[in-house]
């Protein structure tokens, strides 16, 4: 088996790009496969068989992280939580690192003429923080950003690197060791779709709406901390925004329902307690059920209205970061296992839905076929919803609490 085959086995490659970053001759680049997912591709003429790509591949090594599991509900006090997806844990830490002269890495999603391009960038000014705020539910391309991190560390800059757990592990694999100035923060993650599928969806929406989508926000907080999204549109004569619930978007709902991820996400080795980041962040879903005391009307020191993050301190460096900057967050102690009850990615990878294969057979077809498949699938669910809407709100809340027990 050659390097390319060893690196690119479907279930054994997360597309983090450690191999591309470490390749000294530029022989190895990540390229999309038939379904749009990035895998290593090697130019045999340029390859000098140095094996650095194989050695940097953290994904194939055993996960040896041990987490302290110090878990909190957290809300940022020093940044605009409404711009963040959950409670702004990332932006609070990032703001402080930037203010103190460090650099921050994370995912932005800009639009070129042709398409949306989710990718990692480096920022060094607090004014650019909003580029990284908000979840983009598409795999972020790392490009050659691990090399930039290394340069920053060599220049004695403090670095905060955020990304999916596999991207964090990929960074450590590329660097070969931890570094005292490097701090990492991983997202709880149930899997990533690819940008090709996302852009095919965008083009489908654009042709049905007869307008250009200039901005796509997965988590808009106009109506509070939910999974609601927003797209900004423009045609020859006007600009406007459309707000939507996930099920009104085939792409979003198929993502949430686990149809569209990379193959390896369904066997993700990071969807366990031993997390790769110094800190783990996510949405503190169902906080009202886990901590009803926060909603008893008494003063508790944490405001839940605009979103709450779950924050897990995994390592000593995570503790150090919180010692330095934790005072800029409202913190409320919690427990890993309790949070994981409603956020299963903290303990196990996403499972494929029953009709996953049926979907994958059409995933590369024209997007209109995906849309048709999705609409057909939603018919009975929508009928059920219509019936549910007839139940009074108070009774609904009682049923929700009984079912969550
Ligand atoms: C693909 C994906 C799946 C997720 N699944 C879950 C889940 O199942 N349960 C859960 O609780 N939370 C999940 N999250 C995390 C959640 O959506 C929020 O990103 C997290 O709570 C951080 O919120 P914040 O308010 O602290 O950060 P914000 O201030 O909103 O900042 C966003 C942070 O997320 C990073 N980020 C955004 N998009 C990407 C991306 N595509 N790839 C890598 N990093 C990205 C940015 O770099 C930044 O650090 C997921 C995030 C992603 C990207």
For residue range 342-357, list pLDDT tens digits in order.
999 999 999 999 999 9
CA 105 to chain CA mean position, Å: 14
Instruction: Give the pLDDT of residue 108.
Output: 98
| Torsion angle in degrees (nearest 10) through CA of 386, 388, 394, 400 | -140
| Residue closest to 170 by CA, chosen among 298, 57, 308 | 57
Closest ligand 1 atom to 79 CA: 29
pLDDT tens per residue across span 69-96: 999 999 999 999 999 999 999 999 999 9
Q: Match 């949405």 to its residue by tokens.
A: 283
pLDDT the model gives residue 405: 65
Q: How far is the CA of 335 from the centre of ligand 1 (A)?
A: 20
The answer on pLDDT for 161 being more than 80 is yes
The pTM (predicted TM-score) of the whole model is 0.94
Cα 32-38-44 angle, rounded to 5 deg: 80
Ligand 1 midpoint to CA 318 (Å): 18
- Measured in Å, residue 42 CA sits from the centre of ligand 1 at 31
Percent of the chain at pLDDT > 90 equals 85
**Burial of 142 from C-beta contacts in 10 A (0-12 / 13-18 / 19+):** buried
Average pLDDT over residues 54-59: 92
Tokens 């997912």 belong to residue: 37
Inform me whether the pLDDT recorded for 62 exceeds 90. Answer: no
For residue 84, which atom of ligand 1 is closest to its CA? 30
Distance from the alpha carbon of residue 310 to the mean position of ligand 1, in angstroms: 11
Q: Distance (Å, rounded) from C-alpha 142 to C-alpha 158?
A: 19
Which residue in 349, 345, 346, 343 sits closest to 283, CA to CA? 343
Q: Which residues line ligand 1 (CB under 6 A)?
A: 84-91, 106-107, 118, 132-138, 140, 162-164, 187-190, 192, 281-283, 309, 343, 345
Which residue has a Cα nearest atom 49 of ligand 1?
A: 162
Determine the average pLDDT of the residues in 151-167. 98
- To test the pocket of ligand 1, the residue of 187, 218, 283 to mutate (highest count of ligand atoms within 8 Å of its CB) is 187
Question: Are the beta carbons of 243 and 230 closer than 8 angstroms?
Answer: yes
Distances (CA, A) of 106 to 4, 132, 162, 359: 27, 6, 5, 31
pLDDT of amino acid 240: 97
184-204 as b/e: b if 16+ CB within 10 A: bbbbbbbbbbbbbbbbbbbeb
Strands 239-244 and 309-313: unpaired
More confident residue, 399 or 194: 194
What's the average model confidence in pLDDT over 99-114? 96
| Top mutation candidate among 81, 87, 135 for ligand 1, by most atoms within 8 Å of CB | 135
The Å distance, Cα 179 to ligand 1 centre, comes to 24
pLDDT, position 122? 98
Q: Which residue has the tokens 């366990």?
A: 272
Instruction: Tell me the C-alpha distance between 39 and 229, whole Å.
Output: 30
| Region 227-234 average pLDDT | 96
CA 310 to chain centre: 14
Q: What is the β-pairing status of strands 239-244 and 329-335?
A: unpaired
Beta strands across the sheet bearing 70-76: 116-123, 103-111, 159-163, 182-187, 279-283, 309-313, 70-76, 329-335
Q: What is the pLDDT of residue 404?
A: 65
The whole-angstrom separation of Cα 333 and Cα 242 is: 37
Strands 182-187 and 159-163: parallel
Q: Three-state SS string across 311-345, please? A: EEECCHHHHHHHHHHHHHEEEEEEEHHHHHCCCHH
Higher pLDDT, 387 or 313: 313
Q: Which two tokens stand for residue 349?
A: 């990878």
CA–CA distance, 97 with 103 (Å, rounded to integer):
7
pLDDT for the residue numbered 381: 83
What is the distance in angstroms between the CA of the first residue and the CA of the last residue of the chain?
51
Question: What domains lie within the chain, and their CATH numbers?
Answer: 3-60 (3.30.70.3270), 62-405 (no CATH)
pLDDT for 396: 77
Ligand 1 centroid vs 58 CA: distance in angstroms? 21
Region 326-335: what's the mean pLDDT? Answer: 97
Cα 304-121-85 angle, rounded to 5 deg = 15
pLDDT for the residue numbered 215: 97
- Residue with CA at minimum distance from ligand 1 atom 47: 106
User: With 90 as the cut, is the pLDDT of residue 53 above it?
Assistant: yes
Mean per-residue pLDDT of the chain: 94
Specify the length of the chain in residues: 405
Question: If you measure from the C-alpha of residue 168 to the centroid of ligand 1, how many angstroms do you get, rounded to a whole number?
Answer: 13
Give the model's pLDDT for residue 297.
Answer: 78
pLDDT at 388 over 90: no
User: What SS3 state is found at 11?
Assistant: helix
Q: What spacing in Å lies between the alpha carbon of 281 and ligand 1's midpoint?
A: 7
Q: What's the pLDDT band for 1 if we cut at 50, 70, 90?
A: low
| Residues 353, 331: Cα–Cα separation, whole Å | 36
186: CA distance to ligand 1 center in Å?
8
- Looking at residue 270, what is its pLDDT? 95
Query: Which atom of ligand 1 lies nearest, measured to the CA of 87?
Result: 25
Whether the Cβ atoms of residue 58 and residue 186 lie closer than 8 Å to each other = no
- Residues 235-276 have pLDDT tens digits of 999 999 999 999 999 999 999 999 999 999 999 999 999 999
Closest approach atom of ligand 1 to CA 218: 17
Q: Which atom of ligand 1 is nearest to the CA of 107?
A: 47
Q: Return the pLDDT at 392.
A: 83
Pair 161, 168: CB distance under 8 Å:
yes
Between the CA of residue 266 and those of 9, 13, 176, 298, what are the distances in Å?
14, 12, 26, 42
Helices 165-175 and 145-154 cross at an angle (nearest 10°) of 60
Q: What is the model's pLDDT at position 302?
A: 86
Question: Higher pLDDT residue, 298 or 267?
Answer: 267
């Amino acid at each position: 088996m050659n390097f390319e085959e060893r690196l690119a086995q479907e279930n054994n490659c997360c597309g983090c790009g450690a191999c591309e970053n470490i390749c000294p001759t530029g022989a190895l680049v990540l390229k999309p496969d038939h379904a749009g997912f990035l895998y290593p591709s090697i130019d045999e003429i340029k390859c000098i068989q140095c094996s650095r790509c194989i050695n940097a591949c953290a994904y194939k090594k055993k996960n040896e992280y041990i987490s302290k599991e110090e878990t909190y509900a957290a809300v940022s006090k020093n940044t605009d939580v409404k711009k963040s997806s959950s409670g702004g844990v990332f932006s609070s830490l990032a703001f402080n690192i930037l203010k103190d002269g460090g650099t921050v890495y994370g995912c932005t999603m800009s639009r070129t003429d042709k398409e949306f391009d989710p990718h990692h960038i480096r920022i060094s000014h607090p004014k650019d923080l909003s580029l990284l705020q908000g979840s983009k539910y598409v795999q972020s391309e790392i490009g050659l950003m691990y090399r930039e991190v290394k340069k920053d560390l060599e220049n004695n800059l403090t670095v905060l690197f955020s990304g999916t757990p596999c991207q964090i592990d990929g960074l450590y694999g590329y660097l070969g060791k931890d570094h005292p100035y490097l701090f990492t923060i991983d997202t709880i993650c149930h899997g990533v779709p690819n940008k090709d599928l996302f852009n095919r969806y965008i083009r489908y929406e654009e042709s049905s709406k007869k307008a250009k989508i200039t901005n796509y926000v997965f988590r808009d907080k106009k109506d509070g901390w939910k999974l609601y999204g927003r797209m900004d549109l423009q045609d020859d004569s006007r600009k406007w925004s459309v707000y939507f619930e996930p099920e009104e978007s085939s792409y979003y709902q198929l993502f949430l329902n686990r149809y569209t991820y990379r193959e390896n996400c369904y066997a993700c080795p990071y969807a366990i307690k031993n997390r790769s980041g110094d800190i783990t962040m996510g949405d503190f879903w169902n906080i009202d059920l886990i901590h009803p005391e926060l909603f008893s009307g008494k003063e508790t020191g944490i405001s839940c209205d605009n979103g709450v993050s779950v924050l897990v301190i995994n390592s000593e460096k995570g503790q150090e970061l919180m010692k330095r900057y934790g005072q800029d967050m409202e913190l409320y102690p919690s427990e890993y296992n309790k949070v994981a009850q409603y956020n299963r990615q903290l303990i196990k990878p996403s499972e494929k839905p029953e009709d996953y294969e049926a979907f994958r057979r059409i995933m590369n077809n024209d997007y209109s076929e995906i849309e048709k498949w999705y609409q057909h699938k939603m018919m009975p669910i929508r009928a059920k919803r219509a019936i549910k809407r007839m139940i009074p709100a108070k009774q609904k809340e009682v049923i929700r609490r009984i079912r969550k027990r």
